[in-house]
Amino acid sequence: MSTTTVTLTQTREQARQQVAAALPNDQSKTKAGDDLVKKLNSPEVKKQAYESVKTLAQTIRNIRGGFISVADALVAFDAKNFKDKDNNVLSLGKEWSPLIKEFDVTLQFSLEQATDAVVLMKTVTAVLGDVTEADGKDLALELNQFMKQLGAKEAGALEMKNRFQQLADDVILFNAKIDVALEKAEAKIKMDLESAKARLSALEKELESWNQKLNVGAGEIISAIAVGAAEVAKSLFTLDFAGMMGAINSVANAVSHDAELKKRSECEQSIAVVNGEIKELLARDQDLATFRTRLADSKKVVASVQAQILIIVDIWKTINLDIHSLDQALSAQLKDNPVITKFFLKKLVVAKEIYAHLTLLLETYVEQTNAANSQ
């Protein structure tokens, strides 16, 4: 048995129990019917009932605008190639894009369901139109056929509602992914900064050491070269080879000094490179702070999108529950008393009022959805 079938069975049973508990006898059912008609005909109730669905086109536009706004921020974030501690590139845009597509697909699916439901509602409203006491059997057949059609459509309506609900849940969960990505990027930058600063400190100590060596040795080498030059001249005239070796050693010391100068230069270059890394990391840290602010705004948009998707869920939840209640009430009445009485005719008037309002609700839903899709 599929999940949808199980859910439908549970929903029907819940509706049956709710109707039985709320309307235990004919007196309570009559009062409920009278109260319902009064409420349905109340201008204030009508206004409240259709306020959300009448602004559905704007709600859909707001949702789409929210999706696009968040997508822009995420694309900019992805373009910076922030990484985590394992050097994995952090990407949010790729996970967000499917949600945008899912919204449009689900909205189109809901439009198809609503269009079918309008036809169904108009059919049953017509059936309930001019019923007399002698029309019991015909009405029973008509309503039985209607309930079969309703059962076939109900699975689609439930699937649509669940898809919107799942989408709303996925959207709000995305906020947590934004937080995780920002924390990972921040941790990586902090780790790299600490590493770069440690390397810079070591290089600065190394440079200081080279400077001390070079400063101490410079005077000795200059003196040695001057003495060595004199010794060379003297040795050439006296053929003093030992003196010549002293001069050669002084030249070797000068060569060693050049090597130390080269190493100091390399150290200075390394320091410049690390300073550049630190400067870049600080800039990325600033970028991340900017994105944190921008994505904080996006998180508010995400929450708004989720809330507005739930408006659509609530519309369908209301329709679904109302239809279930009518299903249980009408089926029970026809089963117990197939001969229509004046008392039951009054109940049919209530049912007709409800179906007429549901039809208007669905027609408005279709109209508003088409309006949003046409822009």
What's this model's pTM, rounded to 2 decimal places? 0.62
> What does the pLDDT look like over 21-56, one tens digit per residue?
655 666 666 665 566 556 555 666 556 656 666 777
Would you say residue 339 has pLDDT above 90? no
C-beta atoms surrounding 327 within 10 Å = 20
What is the DSSP annotation of 91-113?
A: --HHHHHHHHHHHHHHHHHHHHH
CB 178 within 8 A of CB 299: yes
* Higher pLDDT pick, 206 / 181: 181
Does 346 map to a domain?
yes
Q: Using alpha carbons, select from 36, 59, 28 the residue that is nearest to residue 357.
A: 36
Split into its structural domains, the chain has a count of 1
Average pLDDT, the chain: 73
Does 324 map to a domain?
yes
Question: Quick one: average pLDDT of 137-146?
Answer: 71
Question: Quick one: average pLDDT of 235-246?
Answer: 49
Q: Strand, coil or helix: what is 41?
A: coil
Does 12 map to a domain?
no
Does 298 map to a domain?
no
Does 210 map to a domain?
no
Which pLDDT value is given to residue 356?
A: 79
CA 350 from centroid of its chain's CA atoms? 43
Domain hosting 150: range is: 43-182+305-373
CA 190 from centroid of its chain's CA atoms? 26
Q: How confident is the model at residue 241 (pLDDT cuts 50, 70, 90)?
A: very low
Q: Strand, coil or helix: what is 89?
A: strand
Q: Could you give the CA distance from residue 133 to residue 183 in angstroms, rounded to a whole number? A: 72
CA distances from 286 to 33, 125, 225 (A): 65, 64, 54
* Higher pLDDT pick, 174 / 316: 174
CA 31 from centroid of its chain's CA atoms? 47
Q: Which two tokens stand for residue 338?
A: 């197939």
Q: Could you give the CA distance from residue 280 to residue 267 in angstroms, rounded to a whole number? A: 20
Question: Quick one: average pLDDT of 359-363?
Answer: 80
Question: Quick one: average pLDDT of 203-210?
Answer: 81
Would you say residue 228 has pLDDT above 50? no
Range of 156-160, 177-181, 227-231, 364-368 with top mean pLDDT: 177-181
Does 314 map to a domain?
yes
User: Cα–Cα–Cα angle for 348, 352, 356, nearest 5°?
Assistant: 175
CB 173 within 8 A of CB 309: no
Question: Quick one: average pLDDT of 182-189?
Answer: 91
Q: Is 311 exposed, middle or buried (0-12, 13-18, 19+ CB in 10 A)?
A: middle
- Looking at this protein, which amino acid is placed at residue 83? K
Which pLDDT value is given to residue 337?
A: 60
Does 137 map to a domain?
yes
Q: What is the enclosing helix (H) or strand (E) of 20? A: helix 3-22
Does 232 map to a domain?
no
* Higher pLDDT pick, 258 / 241: 258
Question: Quick one: average pLDDT of 108-115?
Answer: 82
